[in-house]
C-alpha cells in the first residue's frame, strides 16, 4: 500500500509545522523520518491518522481506512495507574474485529498471546501494566501493534528512553514487518539505527530537505541544511504565497 | 441473637418508611457505585461535585413552578446538570479554558442562581430539603424513579464498558482506531447527571455525590482489577446505605449525612487497613524476594 503526501501544509496558530511537503513513502518498506526538533515529524504522522487537519494539500492513504493504521504516539499518554492487565492491553489491538461492543474471538486471544510471546513477555500476560518497566511496557505496545495486523505502521520516536537490549529486540520486529510487506514509517533520532534498519529516509525541516535511499539522504550537507532551516521562525511572518503562485501558473 | 435482630432487622420490619428508605438506598448504590468509579478512573472526582451543584438551579426552578414535586424538580435538575456539563465541555473544547476550570466557572454560576431562586421564592426549610434531602420521605414514585435510573445506568454501562474504559486508559489509541471517544464521554456525563438527580431526593443535591465518590475512592484501596473495583464500590455503597440508615434510626440522626458519614468511615478505615493501598500494610516490613 502506498502513502502519498501532496503539497501538504499543516500549521499551528497559522505558523506552518509542515510546509508544502510532497512525496511518496515506499510501499511495503520502512522509511525513517528524521530532522531537528520542531521539524514537523510528529505532525505528519498525526495528520495521517486524521488527528490534525491539513491547511492545504492532503494525505492519500491509497484507499486504506484509518482502522488499518497502527499508530504508536510519542510517549503514549496511557494511564498506567489503572489496574488493566498486560493481556487486555494487547487484546485491544483486535479493535478492528471486535469494535466497541463485539466479543473477542478465540483467534484474537491467540494472536494476543502469540504477540506477547514474540516480544518476550509471554509470562507477563496476567500482570497489571503498572508493574512493568518502561522498556517492558514499550514491548507491550509493540505486541499490540502486531495484533492490529495493519498494513501501515506509524511509530513516533518509539525508542526514546528505551534501553539498548529492548531497542534491538523491537527493531528486529520492524525488520520482520518489512519482510511481511508492511509499510513502516518511524520518527527517529538515532542515525545509526536509521542506517541499519531503514532503507528509506525522509529528512524534514518543515519542508523536505531530502527524501530517498538512506545513504543518499543522511549526508553532512543535508543535515546542516536541515538544522539551519528550522531556526527560522518569526512572530510577524508574512502570509505564504506559494499556493497563489501555483494557482496563477495553472491559469491559461 | 435477639439483640442482633432488634439492632439490624426490626427497624425495617416495623416501619414502612425505613423499608422504602432502604430500597431507595440500595437502588442508588447500584447505580452510583460504578458511576463514581468511572469518575475516579477518568480523574474527574471533582466533576461529580461540580455537577451536583449544577443540578440545584434546575431543581429550584422546578420547585418554583410545581412546589415540592419530584418529577418537576428532577426534570429541572437534569436539564440544568446536562446544560452545565455540555456548555463547560464546549467551552473547554473551543477556547483556551481547561475543562476543570470551565466546569468550576459554570457550576459556581449555577449554584448561585439556584440559591438565589430558592431564597427568593421558597422558605428556608424548603432550601434545606433541596440541599440535604430526606431518604425517609421517599414515596413510591421516587422509588420507581431511582430504580429506573439505576437499571438504565447498569445496562448502559454494560454496553459502553469497553470504549468508556479504553477512553480513560488510552484515549489516543481509541482515537487512532477511529472510534468516537467524545460520544461515550457524553453518554457517561448524562449518566452522571441522572444519578445525581436520583440521589438528590433521597440524600439532597450536596450529599448525593458522596454516595457516588466515597465508595469508589475506597474501592481503589481494596481491589486490583477494574471488575473487582466495580464490585467493591457497589458493595461498599450498599453497606453504607444500610449502615447509615441503621445509625440514623438508632441514634436519631438525619439520614443523608449518616449514610455519607458511614461511607466516609469505611474510607478512613480502608486508608489504614486496606491491602492494596492502606497505610498499615505498608508499614509491615516484608523481606524482599530473591527475584
If asked whether residues A85 and A201 sit together in one domain, one would say no
Structural domain includes residue B106: yes
* Whole-number pLDDT of residue A1: 64
Looking at A150, A177, A211, which one is the last position of a domain? A150
- The alpha-carbon gap from A178 to the nearest alpha carbon of chain B, in Å, equals 22
- pLDDT recorded at residue B124: 65
Give the orientation angle of helix B45-66 with respect to helix B16-41, to 10 degrees. Answer: 140
CB contact under 8 A, B179 and A95: yes
Ranges under pLDDT 70 in chain A:
1, 229-237, 243, 245-252
Asked whether residue B291 is domain-assigned, the answer is no
Nearest CA in chain B to A49: B176
Residues of B in contact with A84 (CB under 8 A): 165, 169, 226
- A117 lies in which domain range? 70-150
DSSP structure class, residue A92: G
Which of residues A53 and B178 earns the better pLDDT score?
Answer: A53
CA dihedral A33, A39, A40, A42 (to 10 degrees): 60
**Beta-strand relationship, A56-60 and A30-34:** unpaired
Same domain, A246 and A161: yes
B160 in contact with A, Cβ within 8 Å: yes
Distance from C-alpha of B106 to C-alpha of B84, rounded to nearest angstrom:
6
- Give CA–CA dist B128/B112, Å, rounded: 15
Which of B43, B173, B226 has the CB atom closest to A92's CB atom?
Answer: B173
Task: Indicate the burial class of B16 (C-beta count within 10 angstroms; 0-12, 13-18, 19 or more).
Answer: exposed
Lowest-confidence pick of A11-25, A184-198, B19-33, B115-129: B115-129
Give the percent of chain B with pLDDT over 90: 35
Quote the minimal CA–CA distance from A84 to chain B in Å: 7
Chain A residues lying within 8 Å of B184, measured CB to CB: 100
In this structure, are A55 and A86 located in the same domain? no
In the structure grid, which three cell numbers stand for residue B55, read together?
443540578
Q: Give the whole-angstrom CA distance, residue A24 versus residue A47.
A: 15
Residue A141's nearest CA partner among A170, A114, A106 is A170
Residue B289 within any structural domain of the chain: no
Q: Determine contact, residues B198/B141, Cβ cutoff 8 Å.
A: no
d(CA B74, CA A105): 43
Q: Kindly provide the ipTM of the predicted complex, given to two decimals.
A: 0.81
State the CATH number of the domain containing residue A238.
3.40.50.300
Please tell me which of the candidates B41, B162, B228 has its beta carbon nearest to residue A82.
Answer: B41
Domain end: A126, A150, A174, which one? A150
Smallest Cα–Cα separation from A116: which of A83, A146, A75, A159?
Answer: A146
Rounded Cα distance, A200 and A216, in Å: 9
pLDDT score for A152: 93
What is the three-class DSSP state of A9? strand
- pLDDT value of position B99: 79
- Give residue ranges of A with CB < 8 Å to any B CB: 49-51, 65-67, 69-71, 73, 76-79, 82-85, 89, 92, 95-96, 99-101, 128, 144
Domain that holds residue B262: 2-278
Answer yes or no: is B286 within a domain.
Answer: no
Q: Read off the pLDDT of each residue in B98-113 and give the average, rounded to a whole number.
A: 85
Which of residues A135, A150, A165 is at a domain's end? Answer: A150
Question: CB distance B171–A83 less than 8 Å?
Answer: no
**pLDDT value at position B73?**
83
Residues A173 and A112 in one domain: no
The reply to whether A36 and A157 lie within a common domain is yes
**A210 and A93 in one domain?**
no
Q: Which of A49, A83, A84 sits opposite B176 (nearest CB)?
A: A49
Same domain, A60 and A77: no
Question: Per the CB < 8 Å rule, is A76 touching B224?
Answer: no
Residue B152 is assigned to a structural domain of this protein: yes
- What confidence tier does B231 reach under pLDDT thresholds 50, 70, 90? very high
Distance (Å) from the alpha carbon of B177 to chain A's nearest alpha carbon: 5
Tell me how far apart the alpha carbons of residues B132 and B130 are, in angstroms, rounded to a whole number.
6
Residue B166 contacts A, CB cutoff 8 Å = yes
Q: Same domain for A106 and A229?
A: no
In chain B, the residue whose alpha carbon lies closest to the alpha carbon of A145 is B173
Question: For residue B223, which residues of chain A lie inside 8 Å, CB to CB?
Answer: 83
With respect to residue B287, please indicate whether it lies within any of the assigned structural domains.
no
Nearest to B107, CA basis, from B221, B36, B192: B192
8-state DSSP, B280: H
B194: CATH: 1.10.3470.10
Are both A201 and A121 inside the same structural domain?
no
Are A107 and A197 in the same domain? no
Distance CA B114, CA B51 (A): 13
Torsion, Cα of B157, B161, B167, B173 (10° steps)? -160
B277 touches chain A (CB under 8 A): no
Looking at the structure, do residues A8 and A85 belong to the same domain, yes or no? no
Rounded to a whole number of angstroms, the distance from the CA of A113 to the nearest CA of chain B is 20
Residues A58 and A89 in one domain: no
The domain tally of chain A equals 2
Residue B175 lies in a domain: yes
Per CB-CB distance under 8 Å, the chain A contacts of B168 are 79, 82
Cell matching residue A24? 511518496
Closest C-alpha among B209, B27, B200, B54 to residue B129: B200
Q: Could you give the CA distance from residue B146 to residue B208 in angstroms, rounded to a whole number?
A: 12
| Domain membership flag for residue B290 | no
Amino acid at each position: 500500500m502506498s502513502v502519498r503526501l501532496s503539497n501538504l501544509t499543516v500549521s499551528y496558530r497559522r505558523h506552518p509545522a509542515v510546509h508544502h511537503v510532497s512525496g511518496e513513502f515506499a510501499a511495503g518498506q520502512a522509511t525513517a523520518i528524521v530532522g531537528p526538533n520542531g521539524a514537523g515529524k510528529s505532525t505528519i504522522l498525526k495528520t495521517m491518522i486524521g488527528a490534525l487537519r491539513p491547511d492545504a494539500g492532503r494525505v492519500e492513504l491509497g484507499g486504506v481506512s484509518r482502522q488499518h493504521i497502527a499508530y504508536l504516539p510519542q510517549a503514549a499518554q496511557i494511564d498506567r495507574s489503572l489496574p488493566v492487565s498486560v493481556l487486555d492491553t494487547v487484546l485491544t489491538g483486535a479493535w478492528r474485529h471486535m469494535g466497541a461492543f463485539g466479543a473477542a474471538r478465540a483467534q484474537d486471544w491467540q494472536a494476543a498471546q502469540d504477540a506477547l510471546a514474540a516480544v518476550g513477555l509471554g509470562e507477563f500476560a496476567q500482570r497489571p501494566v503498572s508493574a512493568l518497566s518502561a522498556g517492558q511496557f514499550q514491548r507491550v505496545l509493540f505486541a499490540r501493534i502486531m495484533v492490529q495486523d495493519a498494513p501501515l505502521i506509524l511509530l513516533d520516536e518509539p525508542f526514546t528512553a528505551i534501553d539498548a537490549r529492548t531497542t534491538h529486540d523491537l527493531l528486529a520486529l520492524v525488520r520482520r514487518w518489512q519482510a511481511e510487506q508492511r509499510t513502516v514509517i518511524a520518527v527517529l533520532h538515532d542515525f545509526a539505527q536509521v542506517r541499519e534498519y531503514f532503507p528509506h529516509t525522509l529528512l524534514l525541516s518543515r519542508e523536505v530537505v531530502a527524501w530517498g535511499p538512506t545513504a543518499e539522504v543522511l549526508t553532512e550537507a543535508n543535515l546542516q541544511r536541515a538544522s539551519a532551516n528550522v531556526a527560522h521562525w518569526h512572530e510577524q511572518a508574512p502570509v505564504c504565497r506559494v499556493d497563489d503562485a501555483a494557482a496563477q501558473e495553472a491559469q491559461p | 441473637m435477639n439483640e442482633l435482630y432488634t439492632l439490624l432487622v426490626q427497624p425495617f420490619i416495623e416501619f414502612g418508611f425505613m423499608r422504602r428508605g432502604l430500597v431507595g438506598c440500595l437502588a442508588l448504590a447500584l447505580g452510583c457505585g460504578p458511576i463514581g468509579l468511572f469518575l475516579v478512573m477518568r480523574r474527574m472526582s471533582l466533576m461529580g461535585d461540580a455537577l451536583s451543584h449544577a443540578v440545584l438551579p434546575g431543581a429550584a426552578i422546578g420547585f418554583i413552578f410545581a412546589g415540592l414535586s419530584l418529577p418537576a424538580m428532577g426534570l429541572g435538575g437534569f436539564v440544568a446538570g446536562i446544560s452545565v456539563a455540555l456548555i463547560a465541555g464546549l467551552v473547554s473544547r473551543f477556547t483556551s479554558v481547561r475543562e476543570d476550570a470551565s466546569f468550576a466557572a459554570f457550576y459556581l454560576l449555577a449554584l448561585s442562581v439556584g440559591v438565589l431562586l430558592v431564597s427568593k421564592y421558597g422558605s428556608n426549610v424548603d432550601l434545606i430539603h433541596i440541599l440535604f434531602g430526606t431518604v425517609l420521605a421517599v414515596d413510591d414514585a421516587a422509588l420507581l424513579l431511582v430504580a429506573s435510573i439505576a437499571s438504565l445506568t447498569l445496562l448502559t454501562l454494560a454496553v459502553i464498558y469497553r470504549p468508556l474504559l479504553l477512553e480513560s486508559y488510552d484515549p489516543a489509541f481509541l482515537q487512532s482506531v477511529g472510534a468516537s471517544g467524545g460520544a461515550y464521554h457524553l453518554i457517561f456525563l448524562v449518566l452522571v447527571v441522572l444519578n445525581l438527580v436520583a440521589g438528590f431526593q433521597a440524600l439532597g443535591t450536596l450529599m448525593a455525590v458522596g454516595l457516588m465518590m466515597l465508595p469508589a475512592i475506597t474501592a481503589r484501596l481494596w481491589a486490583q482489577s477494574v471488575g473487582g473495583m466495580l464490585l467493591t464500590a457497589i458493595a461498599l455503597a450498599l453497606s453504607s446505605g444500610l449502615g447509615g440508615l441503621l445509625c440514623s434510626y438508632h441514634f436519631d440522626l438525619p439520614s443523608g449525612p449518616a449514610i455519607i458519614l458511614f461511607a466516609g468511615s469505611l474510607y478512613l478505615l480502608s486508608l489504614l487497613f486496606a491491602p492494596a493501598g492502606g497505610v498499615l500494610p505498608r508499614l509491615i516490613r516484608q523481606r524482599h524476594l530473591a527475584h
